[in-house]
Amino acid sequence: MKMKSLKQTISGIALIVGFVLHGQLSFASPEIVGEFVFPETSLPRGVAVDSETGNVYVADHANDEIYIFDGDLNLLGNNIPTDENPYRIAIDPRPETRRLFVGNFTSGTVEVFSLTSGQLICSLPAGPGPHPAFNMATEKLYIGVEGTNTLKVFGDQDSCTFLSELSLGTKPMSVAIDDLANRVYVAIHHEQRVSVIDGDNDSVVANIDLIPQGDPTDVAVNPNTHHVYVAYSQGNAVTEIDTGPLGLGPYEQTNLIVGDGPRYVQVDSDIDRAYVSGP
């Protein structure tokens, strides 16, 4: 899978990309193989890729809608209208379900859409600042909620049924899931740590105190290597955590220098690369 460079040229927002490969990081200007210029009134935030089709979904935080592109950033069909201020999105790409999860910052909802039809399946009352992530191993939806300092868990066939709630710490900012190890990783922004959740019973099995770097803003995981990557709102590094066999520890950490303000991180597990963007 090739990484596309997506930028909003009118407002001066661009994606700066580096990559991690086998513990070493390179940082260079990416080759731009596709580009879409958003309207001046737009504010693109969350990005997710459908691994089955290669389509790219982008949340427009300002205009309450989701843009849909093909892998070359050609706009596809009609945008999907959302609740107030979408900013974090996740995808269940499996052919039998195919769902899009949209976290709406201001309304505090997570909306579940059909990727096939674009129709709304349900709207979940999560709380202010929801961060959705889907666990394909257990078919459960996890939502980190900044405003309530909790992790909420939903299930059933459409992920619309509330199952449980965990109190984790001040401002859970991002959720990443290792489907192979069945581990859920939650970045706790104001406490500079990552909580580790057992996906079977949804209990906390470890808290990883991060090497001093700043407040974590994003977390991603490579399920093939069980390595977790943490990005921050300050500093110039991303923390790589080796979670050990099947995510059981000892959680060895390495800070990888990437440049100022590495706020977001995503992983392509097929080629073992982590893509870092900021500010």
Provide the number of structural domains found in the chain: 1
Q: pLDDT, tens digit, for every residue of 163-208? A: 999 999 899 989 999 999 999 999 999 999 999 999 999 999 999 9
Query: In the prediction, which pLDDT does 33 show?
Result: 61
Residue 106 inside a domain? The answer is yes
Task: State how far Cα 69 lies from the chain centre.
Answer: 18
Going across the sheet that includes 24-27, the strands are 24-27, 18-21, 273-277, 264-268
Please give the mean pLDDT across all residues of the chain: 84
**Domain containing 103: what range?**
40-212+235-255
Residue 225 inside a domain? The answer is no
Residue 248 inside a domain? The answer is yes
Q: pLDDT, tens digit, for every residue of 9-59? A: 322 223 334 444 333 344 444 455 667 888 888 888 888 888 888 888 999
pLDDT above 80: residue 251: yes
CATH number at residue 104: 2.130.10.10
Residue 138 tokens read as 């257990």
Q: Which long-range contacts (CB under 8 A, 24 or more apart) does 256-262 make?
A: 256/20, 256/23, 256/24, 256/25, 257/25, 258/18, 258/25, 258/27, 259/16, 259/18, 259/27, 260/235, 260/236, 261/233, 261/234, 261/235, 261/236, 262/18, 262/231, 262/232, 262/235, 262/236, 262/237, 262/238
* 234: confidence class by pLDDT, cuts 50, 70, 90: confident
Query: In the prediction, which pLDDT does 99 show?
Result: 95
Residue 229 inside a domain? The answer is no
Residue 164 inside a domain? The answer is yes
Residue pointed to by tokens 């001046």: 40
pLDDT above 80: residue 277: no
Residue 203 inside a domain? The answer is yes
Q: pLDDT, tens digit, for every residue of 85-143? A: 999 999 999 999 999 999 999 999 999 999 999 999 999 999 999 999 999 999 999 99
* 279: confidence class by pLDDT, cuts 50, 70, 90: low
Percent of the chain, pLDDT > 90?
Answer: 58
Residue 2 inside a domain? The answer is no
Cβ–Cβ under 8 Å, residues 106 and 84: yes
The pTM (predicted TM-score) of the whole model is 0.86
Query: In the prediction, which pLDDT does 31 show?
Result: 57
